[in-house]
Amino acid sequence: MNFYQVLNIKKFPKVISFIGGGGKTTAIFLLAREYDRLGKKILITTTTHFSLNQGNKASQLIIEPEYNKAIYQIKKYEKQHQILCLATKILKDKRKLKGVPQNWIEKIKREEIFDIILVEADGARRKPFKVPAEHEPVLPRQSDKIIAVMGIEALNRPITSQYIHRPERALFLLGKNEEKNDTLLTEEYISKIFFHKQGILKEIDREKEVYILINKVDKEKQLKAFQLAYQLRKESTFPNLKILIGQIQDLQNPIKFIIE
């Protein structure tokens, strides 16, 4: 199943925000390509940071720190390119892009230039599982749909920096001693971290459409993914939550199963 089919968007424009780890950027660009094939106008941006390489994957990368000038640039290029990427500056190391302020998202949506605005609202340093710090995620209030991503390879692995971005936060939320750490990231612990008041889905309106994407699931990992999905579904406090099991790298059939 295609990603856009799962989201089932009928009215545009829409803001879709991505948090977590384990394939956010890949999921964003996959969804952008799917909507591109449908003839939609897409903006990719971030409220945190992108790599410059990621930004250059779009049809046109725009770097502009002033909102009005950014909109001018967008209007200049949007007729030629379906997928634009917007950032405000190149950081000193010349490998990262600084994202846009949160309030830009609402203003850009009101411009009605784009059908879909895809926002990376979290960074995970390429780890399959991400636990947010107190100031994270940087989630736009205007998000119509929120997609929290995790990689199945983190399941039952040690809660260390090898598999988890901010393992110390995971241990804190679980009430574990960081100095004597032999804790594995079980289904129960993943569920607790997702729904903890300081966890992955913290401060998200319970009425929002929320998706948890369990990513990188091949046939050998499907049973584990189903067990995790049902644990998440059992513990969920979100009435509109859907659990997606898939492999975003599979461009033809990225979403294998949906659990509602």
Range of lowest pLDDT (6-10, 17-21, 50-54, 180-184):
180-184
Per-residue model confidence as pLDDT tens digits over 206-236: 999 999 999 999 999 999 999 999 999 999 9
Q: Which residue has the tokens 């100095």?
A: 179
Mode of pairing for the β-strands spanning 96-98 and 49-51 = antiparallel
Query: Can you count the helices (H) and strands (E) in the chain?
Result: 8, 14
Digit-coded pLDDT (tens) for 109-141: 999 999 999 999 998 888 999 999 999 999 998
> Residue 260: which H helix or E strand, with range?
none
pLDDT band at residue 180 using 50, 70 and 90 as cut-offs: low
pLDDT for the residue 179: 62
Give the distance between the most distant pair of CA atoms in the chain. 57
Task: Write the DSSP symbol of residue 202.
Answer: T
Please indicate whether residue 176 or residue 99 has the higher confidence score (pLDDT). Answer: 99
**pLDDT tens digits, 150-175:** 999 999 999 999 999 999 999 999 99
Instruction: Report the C-alpha gap between 112 and 94 in whole angstroms.
Output: 31
Fold (CATH) for 10-259 = Rossmann fold (3.40.50)
Omega before residue 13 within 30° of 0, cis? yes
Q: Strand, helix or coil at 90?
A: strand
> Considering the chain, what percentage of its residues have pLDDT values greater than 90?
89
Please report, for residues 69, 73, 82, 181, 211, the alpha-carbon distance to residue 66 in angstroms, rounded to integers and kept in the order given.
5, 11, 22, 46, 33
The alpha carbon of residue 118 and the mean position of all alpha carbons in its chain are separated, in whole angstroms, by 9
pLDDT at 92 over 90: no
pTM above 0.85, yes or no: yes
187-213: average pLDDT: 95
In this predicted structure, which of 180-184, 200-204, 220-224, 236-240 has the lowest mean pLDDT?
180-184
The pLDDT, as a whole number, for residue 45 is: 97
